[in-house]
């Protein structure tokens, strides 16, 4: 086990109707907030109006900034920073999914900084402070509601970059599984792929003696896999929606990574897919992660065999670990396909003509991963495995 | 799943040599602290001197209060409150195990209160505020290093009472598994029984649809059970000590109870044992918990069968759940005995002449438990089952 610091301070308010508490929760921190969202469903569903009502009742005012897109854009973050400065606001309430929350975090971290907020995402310097962020979550997926991370896309490039800093952790997040009933199947599935990937990135570690967190990871992965089908079949299944929502948060609040080194190469590779083709993050992960496993199988075949056995119920891992590990990859791909996601680049409509370019872009800041360090040639090889539609 | 609020703000600094960071961590909060400990091993091992050195280097002064006993006493807490008031101190640094931390929390919560601190423990009112507490942990057991609870013994009675309040959660806790190398086997075993019991209290719930936390509980219980033997055989096994130390914290920081109703009857019954006979909490739990399970088997035999199967590897739970559940209880008792703990009242040297009195004292604030509500007659029946040495 590695030494670690664990500090996950976000207050989680979980359950039916908890969005009604947004006023009192916010009033503990601010009298006036930036209300940040994507427009669309949060408006048409009435959620935004309810949030405004509760804020008003609690004596909290707001300025609104709508228009967040999936793969949230740096340009809107810059607009938000200007708006908050002009309006003297230093609390951002994100109502939506991971894109809205990540955009809110971008605004929060750029607000007290005199330079360009992209400096942080481009790893030129580490932020020490940020305005406060809180969330009313509508999509269980990114875990951004309790994580210290934010991912933005800079349209000049385009570059998709992630930032991790403790000051980015929301002060509270409201999680009502009923708000996710209306999520379309494809978005539900992308969320499932994303939360599962957050655990796999931590689970596939080269650090030995991580017994407790191995089992905690397996517990969360099993729960996600076994509640995916109920939710795909009946979007209004509260119990299954609740399991997925809580699992998504725990997948990425750092608990499951304590004492371990995460890998994150698959995420970095996926960022290149999203940057060039603007595909949904979860779908990109489904297309890439199985290939990453296949490419790295020989690095620690017993870990992948255990993954197959514990998460996918594959038998015989103790007799033929490689065979079990390969069966695990096959079941992972079958799972993605069963919930309507692509399990290869072709299924994701990603052409192969820019594979080398993506590989080179992925390693522009240095080799990827910690389970095995990956150079551009490794990334290219992974993308070529991912290209095989039925491999 | 029940609605819940989860907020576990304690900063955990985990790993080898982390006690050297106590100065910088403390200096973020206070310039002068109450240094609270039990004397004895923390002094002779040199840990206390090291802590003082690091505090001094960080410019933090201290006033010392030693003498905490197992089942920490109200009288010393009162002394600490007076001392802090006189010295104008509002930060308590606990160096030691759960007793020292609980005593520190008692001082912290009594400090801003004009009345008698026992009012809180006697449930006369709920505390809204407390001085800050931080810890350098030496015994993985109670989970008090990241919990919102404190248990004190009032010598007038004697009464042993627990208090839960968010303001009691330490601001930081330093966990170095190497500090636990020198723990004697009996204390190690008592700690193991305590952490296991904290999970069992949450695991045996009547709340349905708690799939994720069921699995997380099982993951933690398995890890505790499987690392107990290595640690009993070789106290210097860093990896096993580290697994137990992190498991003990997660067992009681409320994560594993999210969405569930805990039972806590066994803890309340044990408190009567400790109050009257001053036996170690972990030993008392080992003597009582198997009897609680046996008495409640018919309430939800499948849950106990699952416990047997998942934690103890008992086969056949799907064919004969009752038989499997009983085998689970037998293995739990065998486990306690294997690590040197009593698995019955007789083995704990608790005579039977005050069983009725203990049962009546246990329910003086109302029936116990949530898995099944227990009246005095139920508690007496459980204690009589616990009295059977080889049942």
**Alpha-helix runs per DSSP H in B4-97:** 22-27, 41-44, 47-57, 74-87
Is residue B26 a contact partner of residue B33, using CB atoms and an 8 Å limit? Answer: yes
Average pLDDT over residues B1-26: 97
Tell me the average pLDDT across A248-258: 97
A364 and B CB contact within 8 Å = no
Q: Is A183 on the interface with B (CB under 8 A)?
A: no
Strands A4-14 and A172-175: parallel
Q: What is the pLDDT of residue B373?
A: 97
B391: pLDDT strictly greater than 60: no
The answer for residues whose C-beta is within 8 angstroms of residue B110's C-beta and 6 or more apart is B77, B78, B80, B81, B117, B120
| Beta carbons of A242 and B259 less than 8 Å apart | yes
Chain B hits for A18, Cβ within 8 Å: 3
- Chain B residue with minimal CA distance to A10? B7
Beta pairing partners, B61: B32
Please compute the mean of the pLDDT values over residues A240-250 and round it to a whole number: 98
Which residue's entry shows tokens 């007290």? A112
Residues of A in contact with B7 (CB under 8 A): 9-12
Residues in chain B: 391
DSSP A208: S
pLDDT in tens, B351-382: 999 999 999 999 998 999 999 999 999 999 99
Whether the CB of A388 is below 8 Å from some CB of chain B: the reply is no
d(CA A151, CA A166): 14
Question: A225: nearest CA in chain B?
Answer: B212
B126 vs A: CB within 8 A: no
Beta bridge partners of B132: B91
Q: Which of B7, B223, B255 sits opposite A11 (nearest CB)?
A: B7
In this prediction, residues A7-34 reach a mean pLDDT of 97
Given pLDDT bands bounded at 50, 70 and 90, which one contains residue B236? very high
Residues of B with CB below 8 A from A14's CB? Answer: 3-6, 258-259
The neighbouring-strand residues paired with A35 are A64, A93
Interchain contact B211–A (C-beta under 8 A): yes
User: Mean pLDDT over residues B108-113, rounded?
Assistant: 98
Is B258 in contact with A246 (Cβ distance < 8 A)? yes
Q: How far is B296 from chain A (nearest CA, A)?
A: 26
Dihedral sign of CA atoms B334, B97, A250, A149 in order: negative
Question: In chain A, what residues touch B226 (CB-CB under 8 Å)?
Answer: 211
pLDDT band at A74 (very low <50, low <70, confident <90, very high): very high
pLDDT at A32 over 70: yes
Report d(CA B179, CA B76) in Å as an integer: 25
Residues B258 and A196: their CA atoms lie apart, in Å, by 20
Confirm or reject contact between A13 and chain B (CB < 8 A).
yes
Rounded mean pLDDT, A30-35 = 98
Sort strands B32-36 and B4-14 into parallel, antiparallel or unpaired: unpaired
Check if the beta carbon of residue A99 is closer than 8 Å to that of residue A70: yes
Interface check B48 vs A, CB under 8 A:
no
Q: Do A9 and B14 touch (CB under 8 A)?
A: no
Contacts of A135 (CB under 8 A, 6+ apart): A93, A94, A95, A100, A101, A104, A144, A145, A170, A172, A173, A174
pLDDT (tens digit per residue) in A280-339: 999 999 999 999 999 999 999 999 999 999 999 999 999 999 999 999 999 999 999 999
Place of tokens 């197992």: B70
Q: Does any CB of chain B come closer than 8 Å to the CB of residue A175? A: no
Name which of A37-41, B5-9, B385-389 the model is least confident about.
B385-389
ipTM of predicted complex: 0.97
Q: What are the chain A neighbours of B11 within 8 Å (beta carbons)?
A: 5-7
Reply yes or no on whether the pLDDT at A391 is more than 90.
Answer: no
Q: Is A206 on the interface with B (CB under 8 A)?
A: no
Domains in chain B (CATH in brackets) are: 11-179 (3.40.50.1970), 183-387 (1.20.1090.10)
Least-confidence region, from A26-40, A138-152, B154-168, B215-229: B154-168
Residue B316 CA, chain-centre distance (Å), reads 33
> Cα B108 to the chain's mean position, in Å?
18
Around B262, how many Cα atoms within 13 Å sit in the side-chain half-sphere?
A: 20
Instruction: Identify each DSSP E strand in B31-138 by its residue range.
Output: 32-36, 61-65, 91-96, 132-137
CB spacing of A8 vs B7 below 8 angstroms: no
Measured between alpha carbons, how far is A68 from A153 in angstroms, rounded to an integer? 12
* Closest-CA residue to B205 (of B259, B284, B276): B259
The answer to whether the Cβ–Cβ distance between B216 and A218 falls below 8 Å is: no
Nearest alpha-carbon partner for A366 in A268, A261, A257, A262? A268
Q: Pick the residue with more confidence: B275 or B220?
A: B220
Span of A95-104, A380-389, B294-303 with lowest mean pLDDT: A380-389
Residue A235: CA count within 13 A, CB half-sphere:
12
The C-alpha atoms of residue A14 and residue A172 are separated, in whole angstroms, by 11
Nearest-by-CA chain B residue for A223: B212
Please state, in angstroms and rounded to a whole number, the distance separating the CA atoms of residues B135 and A233. Answer: 48
Q: What percent of chain A is helix, strand and coil (3-state, nearest 5)?
A: 50, 15, 35
pLDDT at A390: 62
A220 and B215: CB-CB below 8 Å?
yes
> How far is CA A177 from its chain centroid?
17
| Predicted pLDDT at B158 | 87
CA distance A7 to A4: 10
pLDDT value at position B390?
Answer: 62
* A-chain residues near B1 (CB < 8 A): 15, 239, 242-243, 246
pTM over 0.95: yes
Please report which confidence band the pLDDT of residue A388 belongs to, taking 50, 70 and 90 as the band edges: confident
C-alpha atoms less than 13 angstroms from C-alpha of A259 in its C-beta half-sphere: 24
Q: Residue A162 forms beta bridges with which residues?
A: A151
- Which of 237-296 (B) contact A at CB < 8 A? 239, 242-243, 246-247, 250, 255, 258-259
**8-state DSSP, A337:** H
The terminus-to-terminus CA distance of chain B in angstroms comes to 35
With CA atoms as reference, the chain B residue closest to A255 would be: B250
């Amino acid at each position: 086990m590695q030494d670690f610091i664990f500090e996950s301070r976000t207050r989680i308010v979980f359950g039916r109707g908890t969005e009604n508490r947004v006023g009192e929760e916010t009033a503990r921190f601010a009298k006036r907030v930036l209300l940040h969202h994507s427009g669309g469903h949060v408006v048409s569903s009435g959620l935004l109006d309810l949030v405004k009502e509760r804020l008003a009742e609690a004596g909290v005012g707001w300025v609104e900034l709508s228009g967040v897109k999936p793969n949230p854009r740096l340009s809107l973050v810059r607009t938000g920073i200007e708006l908050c400065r002009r309006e003297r606001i230093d609390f951002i309430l994100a109502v939506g999914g991971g894109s809205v929350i990540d955009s809110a975090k971008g605004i929060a971290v750029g607000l007290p900084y005199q330079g360009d907020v992209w400096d942080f995402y481009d790893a030129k310097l580490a932020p020490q402070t940020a305005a406060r962020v809180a969330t009313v979550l509508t999509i269980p997926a990114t875990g951004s509601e309790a994580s210290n991370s934010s991912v933005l896309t800079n349209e000049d490039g385009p570059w998709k970059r992630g930032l991790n800093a403790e000051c980015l952790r929301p002060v509270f997040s409201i999680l009502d599984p009923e708000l996710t009933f209306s999520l379309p199947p494809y978005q539900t599935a992308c969320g499932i792929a994303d939360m599962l990937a957050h655990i796999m990135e931590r689970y596939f570690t080269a650090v030995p003696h991580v017994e407790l967190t191995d089992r905690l990871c397996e517990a969360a992965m099993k729960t996600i896999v076994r509640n995916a089908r109920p939710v795909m079949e009946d979007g209004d299944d509260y119990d299954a929606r609740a399991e997925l929502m809580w699992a998504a948060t725990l997948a990425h609040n750092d608990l499951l990574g304590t004492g371990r080194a995460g890998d994150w190469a698959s995420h970095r590779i996926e960022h290149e897919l999203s940057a060039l083709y603007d595909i949904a993050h979860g779908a990109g992960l489904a297309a890439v992660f199985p290939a990453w496993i296949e490419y790295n199988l020989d690095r620690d075949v017993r870990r992948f065999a255990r993954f197959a056995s514990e998460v996918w119920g594959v038998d015989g891992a103790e007799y033929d670990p490689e065979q079990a590990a390969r069966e695990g990859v096959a079941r992972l791909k079958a799972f993605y396909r069963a919930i309507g996601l692509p399990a290869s680049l072709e299924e994701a409509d990603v052409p192969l003509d820019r594979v080398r370019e993506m590989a080179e872009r992925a390693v522009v800041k240095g080799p990827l991963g910690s389970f095995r360090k990956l150079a551009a040639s490794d990334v290219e090889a992974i993308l070529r495995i991912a290209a095989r539609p039925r491999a």
